[in-house]
Each structure stands twice: as C-alpha cells, then as structure tokens.
Amino acid sequence: MNAINRGQMLVRKLARHRRPLAILAASALVTTACITSADRNATIPSGVINISGGGGGSNNTSTSAGTYKLYTVNDTAPPLLVAYDSATGIGSIGDTTRVFSGYIDSAYLYLNTDLTAAQIVYRHIRDTRTATDSSFDRVVAGADTLFGLYVANTSTVTVTLTDTVGGSHSISTVYSISGTSLTGTQIYTLYNSDNVIGASGQYIAVYDYSGTPLRSIERPSPALASRRRAATIR
C-alpha cells in the first residue's frame, strides 16, 4: 500500500471517531450543569423557627451543616438553673426579701450549608418579692432568636450572631467538634420582671446533631451521612 492510500484510510478513521467524541463532550457539559445548579432565591427564616427546614443558598458550603440541639449545660441536661440571687432589706414597715432565679430550658443551633447560622435559646425567670406592703411571684418565659454566620474547619466551628438586646452587637462563640457534638462557652444576660438585669454570666454548652439544616443545597458525603443517621437514632 502506497503512502497516499495509507493517508486516505487514516482520514476516514478519524472521521468515524469524531462524532462520538463530540457527543461525549456534550454529555459531560450537561452533567456538570446539573451538579452545580442551585436555587439562589431562598431567604433566611425569621422569628421562632421549627427544626425542619427548606432549601436554597449559595455555592459556599460546609460539611458541619445541620440542626444541633442543646444536650447539656455545665454537664447537666436542661432545663437547668444558671442564676440565683437573694436580697433582704429592713425597712420601717417591715422586712423585704427579693429572690431572682434564671433557667436555660432548651436551645437549638442551626448551621446551614450556605454558612448562615441561627440560634434559639428558650429560657425563663422567676422573680419573687415578699414584703409587708406588697408581694409578688412572677414567672416570665421566652425565647431569644439570633441570626448570623459561621466558619468551620476540621476541629472548630466559629459562630458569630447579632444580638439586638441592649443595642445591636455581635456575639462570637468558638465550638470544638467531637464526633457529632459541638462544645462552647456561651454568655447570657437575664432580666427580672421589672426589665432590669437580674443576672449575667456564662456556661458550657454541648450541642448534639439532631437533623438536617434549615437550608440545604447539597448532600453530605456518604460517611458523614451515615454518622449523622446513627446520632439521630441514638
């Protein structure tokens, strides 16, 4: 076979393979588009939130995402008394005793896959006054809902939330990661029934994974999903 005939056969072989390669390239582009698509119209929920959530967000994601429920406060399961104060006064019309106590009832920490965060802390206070002229026994319950952002790495999660009580300010908490649990030091401020600060301080909070995040735009890795399912069953 001369050189001219060999060249013609090579051209015909390349022509036969060109179309399948083009089809394969088009299929790869379609597959990539499906993986990277995301709903960008979702908005963060406001007010008191339930555990279940929806979808949407950006392409900045975190494998620490999830709903975390408060497991212990200072190594004790909530509800827990975190503040107590008693004051006694002596007056011309008799003695007066005022007792203030504050409790952390429960809490949820939401870490979304788009790196937004939310936290709800349920608490109540009891404020009593015993006196000759007037007495009262008041119980006030409520929940604080805060929103913000978080940054996660392999060992810690730093959550920065905005608190509007007493003027807008940011509160950052660094949680250490251990399995499906997050442990960090949280600060609190409790007000009495006269809307005056009754107590403030801090406590060690342990949150444990309890479900999917409020906003999710991608599935976790199979290994992480398996570990989380085991934690939910427990």
What are the average pLDDT values for consecutive 10-residue runs of the chain, which has 234 residues?
A: 47 43 32 29 32 34 85 95 89 79 96 94 94 89 93 94 81 94 94 90 96 65 50 48
* Residue 165 near residue 189, CB atoms below 8 Å: yes
* Residue 53 near residue 213, CB atoms below 8 Å: yes
Q: Check residue 230 and give its pLDDT.
A: 54
pTM across the whole model: 0.63
3-state secondary structure the chain: CCHHHHHHHHHHHHHHHHHHHHHHHHHHHHHHHHHHCCCCCCCCCCCCCCCCCEECCCCCCCCCCEEEEEEEECCECCCEEEEEEEEEEEECCEEEEEEEEEEEEEEEEEECCCCEEEEEEEEEEEEEEEECCCCEEEEEEEEEEEEEEEEECCCEEEEEEEECCCCCEEEEEEEEEECCEEEEEEEEEEECCCCCEEEEEEEEEEEEEEECCCEECCCCCHHHHHHHHHHHHC
Q: Check residue 147 and give its pLDDT.
A: 94
Identity of residue 109: L
Q: Check residue 167 and give its pLDDT.
A: 72
